[in-house]
Structure 1
Amino acid sequence: MTPITFVFPANPGSFFNDLQGVARGLGACRPAPGQCPATRYFMSFQYFAGAACRALTARKDGPSLYEVCDPVLAGQAGGDPHLAKFYKTALGNPALRVLLRRAGLPELRDEARLAALRQALARARDEAEPDWAAIGQPVADLLNSIALDHPRPPPAVFVGKAPQQSQIDGVIRDCAQHLLGSYRRNGFLPTYAAFNLIGDPDCRGRELIMALTGLNARGYKNSSLLFNLARVFIARSPARAVVHPPWRGVAEPMWEPVQIRHRSAYYDAFFIEALLSYIETGLALPADKIAAERAIADMVDFCVNISREEVEGIDGARFNVITALAPAPHPRFSRFFAQIKQDLGFGIYVPDCDTTACSISAATQAGCTDEIINQPLLDFYAGYQVRAGVNAPRVTVPLNDHIDYEGGVATWIDNLAGERPYGNDLDPTLNLDILEVSFRNLARWKILETPSRLATVHRIIGFQKRLAASGAFANPRSHIYYLPELYSAYFGRCYAAFLALPLAAQAAIDPDGDFDFIRHRVLSYVKGELMAAEMNVFDAALALIALGHLGADPRAFAPALNVIVDAIGEGGRRGPFRAYEWNKMKTPTRILVGGPEVTSAFVLMGLAVARRAMAGRG
């Protein structure tokens, strides 16, 4: 079953009225062999009806979230108005109040502890320069009382027979038609974001304090504080079963009715790659090929022109980079959600290293000749690269500080105004994207001829090798925005770009064979862990991307191919497949990003890679 994600709908009370509609959308709950879809629907509705009933009738054991917060935040509060506004908008909406009205914490019957918690909220509201570590500690102590785990799918029954080639080609065509049809209807390919109030399993009290002290924007600190307080009441009450039911596989499915539709250059970059994959299969009819090429050209323009932003490098040189969200109206938010975004403290977006790398890579693959492609971006990235003992404090929100950051490039780029709302963090998968775009522009950026640029590449490869050697790449906690399965697929994509280089260039970039070492570790994870357990469609697509690019025996593709072919149609009216988690944010709470179009794009890419490998053209 799929988890419920809240994004504060215009009519919050419709949550319970539409419970039947929720159940109808739960395609992730697969019927048993011989079970009809009506039975699956009944089971879904029965689950949510039962879970909601238990939440609404549970015995209340201590003060609720609202009994804690209303005296401080519900009235005409002074000080920083955003904290109270966020509380009323995000946590005080009627649907959530009903769901959590009987969720209480027994330790808060202690008047001293309750008073300390309220005092912390009042200080966050009133003080001009709050001591966020002290303010966050009462919430952090409560947060340490909850237990959340990452998905642990049960073992899968191995199926060695792959689907027919015609079935694989049919799914590729279905995914391509979904993407082209959506582009034709919308004028772009949408992606969706959704909040999951249960939060991320890797974020507990220690990580909350990291966020409160490492983030820069006060609105972001406010939302992190209150979201994490709410997490405790949800996770320790029967409401947990409503907000966070189980699902199949690793990537988290996304609930359909309450998602924020938007557009970003990061998403367009991967849609470009998906449509390029479709054209390369040779399956596109002439009219579809023309439509795909037009969409690609438009998305390249969106990436390198509309989303372009000038920033200053560490040495004062100016560079053009790609911003996470272009100025309005380009992100395509609805008016309602545009205002909600402001109210919740997400008013400022700055460029990031990942969107820049993926956009430039996609534009390069599409044959773009814009001058932005010629910038030697490694000179810019070198300023954001961590060097132990020199600039390690560049990572201000070290949620994954169990890994060695040396050689890694941080995520967020300061804009010309010097704004840095998210502080900075460091994600391993992002660094694969920097390597991949560097390989595609090796000659253009004169990397082999420029010792400083080659040294930047070597340090990133060293960072990746240590991740592989320690096994940390397979630990979800190591990743800020992704899952280990996505890291594996992105490594395959990076490895393919590496193998496309001349042998002499490969030797200069990787003289010690580090890429082959990482390749074996990633393949072992994909075959021995990811594919050994039950997968959903998105898991299977990522497995195929990794296996195909890393040169696995095509006979190993069968389980993932069967998962995809068997699930065709699960998306209902929205597309061939459901929406799944592509990437995420861990602060201020767990925010998932994905969509039906995203699933189609990754399935298309995975099947195209597998198809090429099975034809002996890997």
Structure 2
Amino acid sequence: MGFHGIAKAVCRALTVRQDGPSLYDVCDPLLLKYQGGDPHLGKFYRTALGNPALRPLLRRTGLPALKDAERLTRLRAALTAARDDAAPDWTAIGTPVAELMDDIDVRHPQPPAAKVTARAPAMADIDRAIRVCGAHLLRSFARNGFIPTYAAFNLLGDADISGREMLMALTGLNARGYKNSTLLFALARIFIAHSPARALINPPWRGIAEPMWEPVQIRHRSAYYDAFFTEALLGFVETGLASSDQAGAARRAISDMVEFCLKTSAEEVPSHDGSTVNVITALAPGPHPRFSRFFAQIKQDLGFGIYVPDCDTTACAFSAATQAGADDPILDQPLVDFYRGYQVRAGANEPRVTVPLNDHIDYEGGVVTWIDNLNGDRPYGNDLDPTLNLDILEVSFRNLKRWKIIETPQRLQTVHRIIAFQRRLVESGAFKNPRSHIYYLPELYSAYFGRCYAAFVALPLAAQRIIDPGNVFALIRARVLGYVKDELIAHEMNPFDAALALMALAHLNAEIATFTPALHCIVQNLGEGGRRGPYKAYEWNKMKTPTRILVGGPEVTSAFALMSLALARRRMAHS
């Protein structure tokens, strides 16, 4: 959105005729100042919704539905109960809010058909883009002492979260602060959806992955991100396009990031068999996440004070360290044994998924996201993401011998059940549905399946047959390639979409001719990031609750562009 568009949206929001009670008419008397009750609800309201930036934009937006005195009374009673009750009935509290969410009308993007591109870019242009992206990552590491990633809020929320899913979150999340934030963000979404400020808060964009609004981005560091930056720099060195100085800097950065993953971010947790296991936490204790003091306080005020380890960060960190040739004893732990304790068995431990936002898919055999810490904290309840389960398979294939997976029937069974979970997901076509994915998009699932597939086909044929006797990987490969070729690259993309498409195509040994649309998009948009980097920041992953929180950054786009171009370049060189 250009300057004139922004100015018009702001003007309309400031001058719109109010029709019904506003967010602040509803909440100020209850949450602005009060004694007793839960102090966090009021603190969250003042910080996130009643702040001086948002209040002017929404103060004249009223809801006609709340001119009904009975509905307004029920809503205020619900907020009062959330504030005052020692043990709130979250279903009763959330119901009046859920009823108002029916007409929010938030939809997933539907890009138009792409123009046909006949010829691929010259290899010199591909090489230049790789060098620029690699230099960007190294420059960022040298300047910051790490490669940062950013988080940003989209207050209009996620298209997959309606009133039904919001109630799931309220009842399935454990931390009261997280429930508070989910409730109030859901309420704010309703007013934003009816405000002229909607066009400012959620402008349209090109492609699938959402660009991140630049004015408010929270810089931070996590082992999950370091793992993928490690893979990107390994890919840069392997291309041979890095200078000798750059190659040395890349190796030093890789060493630092692997140490951050395996040592700084390691956390001991209980396993299902009574032992303890070292896993990798989503956010290491301060000051390691590198939040600014301002955002560290806001994070606390918003109720995001407790972070627990997760299965995905652990898998990706172990995988990156393995690829980098690390020999830390932590890698000798057979993670697949630990994951078995978090694997869903239909009818037995299905309640492990307490926030089933994607309950249209069959969870049997899948591994859930969050890991209980030694204190038993589980602030986010638990959910199940298909892409995470690809990462578990990928790290298992890379450590097949080290963990004796084939020689240990129980470990092999765990892998077989995850593969069966993926087969049902893909056969049903659900992998293409954004609602199936908790933290990612279908295009990222496709890229990560390519990454998993590459680790699988690198195994000896005898091992492949034992792991996949039913040729499930061939089936999934065909379906994912069909989606990427017939849907993703057939429509307008942004550079991040294109990088994910290209990763999938290259890893899955698609015809080189199919690379052209993605290659053109990545090469032609080089420089779109201006002073911040070669490319803009786009959605890499997200939290759907408490609202749509996007994670990505210019460095993330550079990393994925670099990895995808390096893969394509290798295929093209051997064609």
- Structure 2 length as normaliser, TM-score? 0.99
Q: Offset of 1:78 from its aligned partner?
A: 2.0
Matched, 1:506 2:464: yes
Report how many aligned residue pairs link the two structures: 575
What is the CA deviation profile of residues 517-564 of structure 1, one whole-angstrom value per residue up to 9, with x for unaligned ones? 000000000011110100000000001100000010111111111111
Alignment partner, residue 314 of structure 1:
272
Matched, 1:424 2:382: yes
What is the CA deviation profile of residues 392-415 of structure 1, one whole-angstrom value per residue up to 9, with x for unaligned ones? 000000000000000000000000
Alignment partner, residue 143 of structure 2:
185
- Residue number among 104, 116, 131 corresponding to 1:146 in the alignment: 104
Matched, 1:209 2:171: no
Q: Offset of 1:76 from its aligned partner?
A: 2.5
What is the CA deviation profile of residues 74-99 of structure 1, one whole-angstrom value per residue up to 9, with x for unaligned ones? 12342000000100011001121100
Q: Offset of 1:591 from its aligned partner?
A: 0.1
Distance, in Å, in 1 between the alignment partners of 2:103 and 2:557 is 35
Q: How does 1:423-572 map to 2 (within 5 A)?
A: 423-572=381-530
Matched, 1:345 2:330: no
Distance, in Å, in 2 between the alignment partners of 1:487 and 1:357 is 15
What is the CA deviation profile of residues 321-353 of structure 1, one whole-angstrom value per residue up to 9, with x for unaligned ones? 000000000000000000000000000000000
Decide whether the 8 Å contact of 1:541 with 1:564 is kept in 2. Answer: yes
Alignment partner, residue 579 of structure 1:
537
Alignment partner, residue 31 of structure 1:
none
- Residue number among 53, 71, 84 corresponding to 1:113 in the alignment: 71
Q: Offset of 1:315 from its aligned partner?
A: 1.6
Amino acid at match of 2:267: E
Distance, in Å, in 2 between the alignment partners of 1:398 and 1:471 is 19
Distance, in Å, in 2 between the alignment partners of 1:485 and 1:160 is 23
What is the CA deviation profile of residues 401-450 of structure 1, one whole-angstrom value per residue up to 9, with x for unaligned ones? 00000000000000000000000000000000000000000000000000
- Structure 1 length as normaliser, TM-score? 0.92
Distance, in Å, in 1 between the alignment partners of 2:300 and 2:421 is 37
Q: How does 1:590-605 map to 2 (within 5 A)?
A: 590-605=548-563
Q: Offset of 1:573 from its aligned partner?
A: 0.5
Alignment partner, residue 326 of structure 2:
368
- Residue number among 200, 220, 237 corresponding to 1:279 in the alignment: 237
Q: Offset of 1:50 from its aligned partner?
A: 1.5
Matched, 1:615 2:560: no
Alignment partner, residue 14 of structure 1:
none
Distance, in Å, in 2 between the alignment partners of 1:337 and 1:111 is 39
Decide whether the 8 Å contact of 1:309 with 1:321 is kept in 2. Answer: yes
Alignment partner, residue 156 of structure 1:
114
Q: Offset of 1:54 from its aligned partner?
A: 1.7
Alignment partner, residue 293 of structure 1:
251
Distance, in Å, in 2 between the alignment partners of 1:581 and 1:534 is 16
Task: State the identity %.
Answer: 73
Distance, in Å, in 1 between the alignment partners of 2:160 and 2:328 is 41
Q: Offset of 1:314 from its aligned partner?
A: 1.2
3-state SS, counterpart of residue 53 of structure 2: helix
Structure 1 runs (4+) deviating above 2 angstroms are none
Distance, in Å, in 2 between the alignment partners of 1:177 and 1:107 is 54
Alignment partner, residue 254 of structure 1:
212
Alignment partner, residue 32 of structure 1:
none
Alignment partner, residue 294 of structure 2:
336
Alignment partner, residue 236 of structure 1:
194
3-state SS, counterpart of residue 128 of structure 2: helix
Distance, in Å, in 2 between the alignment partners of 1:266 and 1:576 is 22
Distance, in Å, in 1 between the alignment partners of 2:83 and 2:36 is 7
Matched, 1:268 2:226: yes
Decide whether the 8 Å contact of 1:77 with 1:84 is kept in 2. Answer: no
Distance, in Å, in 1 between the alignment partners of 2:55 and 2:248 is 51
Q: Offset of 1:217 from its aligned partner?
A: 0.3
Distance, in Å, in 2 between the alignment partners of 1:95 and 1:354 is 35
Structure 1, unaligned runs of 5 or more = 2-43
Q: Offset of 1:113 from its aligned partner?
A: 1.0
Amino acid at match of 2:269: V
Distance, in Å, in 2 between the alignment partners of 1:159 and 1:73 is 56
3-state SS, counterpart of residue 153 of structure 2: strand
Structure 2, unaligned runs of 5 or more = none
Alignment partner, residue 44 of structure 2:
86
Distance, in Å, in 2 between the alignment partners of 1:191 and 1:334 is 13
Q: Offset of 1:257 from its aligned partner?
A: 2.0
Q: Which moved more, 1:51-60 or 1:107-116?
A: 51-60
- Give the aligned CA root-mean-square deviation in angstroms: 0.7
Alignment partner, residue 64 of structure 1:
22
Distance, in Å, in 1 between the alignment partners of 2:36 and 2:52 is 24
3-state SS, counterpart of residue 95 of structure 1: coil
Q: Offset of 1:58 from its aligned partner?
A: 1.6
Distance, in Å, in 2 between the alignment partners of 1:566 and 1:601 is 17
Distance, in Å, in 1 between the alignment partners of 2:352 and 2:118 is 48
- Residue number among 391, 405, 409 corresponding to 2:349 in the alignment: 391
3-state SS, counterpart of residue 187 of structure 2: helix
3-state SS, counterpart of residue 310 of structure 1: strand
3-state SS, counterpart of residue 54 of structure 2: helix
- Residue number among 308, 314, 324 corresponding to 1:356 in the alignment: 314
Matched, 1:129 2:95: no
Distance, in Å, in 1 between the alignment partners of 2:309 and 2:302 is 20
Amino acid at match of 2:297: Q
Q: Which moved more, 1:95-104 or 1:492-501?
A: 95-104
Q: Offset of 1:145 from its aligned partner?
A: 2.5
Amino acid at match of 1:482: Y
Alignment partner, residue 224 of structure 1:
182
Distance, in Å, in 2 between the alignment partners of 1:75 and 1:467 is 49
